[in-house]
Amino acid sequence: MLIFNKKALLQNHLEALKTAQSTIGFVPTMGALHEGHLSLMQRSLNENTITVISIFVNPTQFNNPEDLQKYPRTLEADAGKIKTLSDSIIIFAPEVDEMYDGNTISQHYNFDGLENQMEGAHRPGHFDGVGTIVKKLFDIVKPNNAYFGEKDFQQLQIVKKLVEKNNLPINIVGCPISREASGLAMSSRNARLSDTEKQEAAFIYKTLQEAKSKFSTSSIPQLKQFVEDAFASHPEFTTDYFEIAPEESLVPASIKENTKYRAFIAVFLGNVRLIDNISLN
């Protein structure tokens, strides 16, 4: 299994590997890999002749310095997990300077307003950081297909917009959320939860499922009230937001129209921020 930390060496290797028939599948990650990441890689292996995974904790997308500092960095363990899937997966694990050349700042992006909702409103600068690093990685890896989990549904929509606005010939593949048996959405941040907190965190998805079951018979304000009341009786959580929004615009809605909706939630459990979402119809 090959691990590159210099972009030029990765690019030379990919150039040498590529044939007229080959396709590159790409899974960008920040490491601390879990089953969810492995399922994205497996999908890429199934659908492409070459699979590249990047492992890079991108400083510009963290609005909270403590979150950046505490983000798990587990390259050796990650490489071991990747190896269990396939020895042929190529890992790109650069240092910050290799990606930012001594200038660790984001480019400013306009994603037609997608960047202003929910995660964008609650984490200033986050999607500029995501857009900046994903564009840099796409320029280096030049994938045919790139795989993103629906847990970060807003990020997925933003990456699709990035590709559309820059006319990049990349197919963005959204993949279903991987969950623990308890229903908790898999996330690298779960590593920061105690065993008790992990059990408590199952309440997030349970509540989303209940909201989904009420969607056809309740108004959006009623559903928001239901979720607010549910979390009010669980003081271990602090709710950052709960919103119901059309999948396309992501603009939080108050009345239902004839479109596809999702419920989105962000909560703090202790000092760990967790997000999840569910399609409603």
| Active-site residue set | 37
Least spacing, CB of residue 140 vs ligand PAF, in Å: 13
Q: Which is nearer to ligand PAF, 207 or 277 (CB)?
A: 277
In the range 152-211, which residues lie near ligand PAF by CB under 6 A? 152, 155
Q: Which is nearer to ligand PAF, 68 or 121 (CB)?
A: 68
**Nearest to 61, CA basis, from 109, 144, 132, 156:** 132
Least spacing, CB of residue 243 vs ligand PAF, in Å: 20
Alpha carbon 234 to chain centroid, angstroms: 26
Q: Which is nearer to ligand PAF, 14 or 130 (CB)?
A: 130
DSSP-assigned letters across all residues of 208-233: HHHHHHHTTTS-HHHHHHHHHHHHHT
Q: Which is nearer to ligand PAF, 33 or 265 (CB)?
A: 33
Least spacing, CB of residue 126 vs ligand PAF, in Å: 9
The structure tokens listed for 139 are: 């320029």
Q: Which is nearer to ligand PAF, 126 or 262 (CB)?
A: 126
Whole-number Å distance between alpha carbons of 219 and 224: 9
SS3 89: coil
Is residue 134 near ligand PAF by the rule CB under 6 A? yes
Of 33, 89, 133, 184, which one interacts with ligand PAF (CB under 6 A)? 133
In the range 9-38, which residues lie near ligand PAF by CB under 6 A? 28-30
Whole-number Å distance between alpha carbons of 199 and 148: 26
How do strand 261-269 and strand 272-279 relate by DSSP bridges? antiparallel
Q: Rg of the chain's alpha carbons, rounded to an integer?
A: 19
Contacts of 246 (CB under 8 A, 6+ apart): 253, 257, 259, 260, 261, 262
DSSP-assigned letters across all residues of 127-145: HHHHHHHHHHHHHHH--SE
In the range 61-120, which residues lie near ligand PAF by CB under 6 A? 61
Least spacing, CB of residue 30 vs ligand PAF, in Å: 4
Whole-number Å distance between alpha carbons of 273 and 201: 11
Binding mask 216-255 for ligand PAF (x = CB under 6 A): ----------------------------------------
Give the DSSP H or E segment for 202.
helix 195-214
Least spacing, CB of residue 55 vs ligand PAF, in Å: 9
Q: What is the number of alpha carbons within 13 Å of residue 121 lying toward its C-beta?
A: 13
Q: Which is nearer to ligand PAF, 130 or 184 (CB)?
A: 130
Least spacing, CB of residue 213 vs ligand PAF, in Å: 29
Site for ligand PAF, rule CB under 6 A: 28-30, 58, 61, 130, 133-134, 152, 155
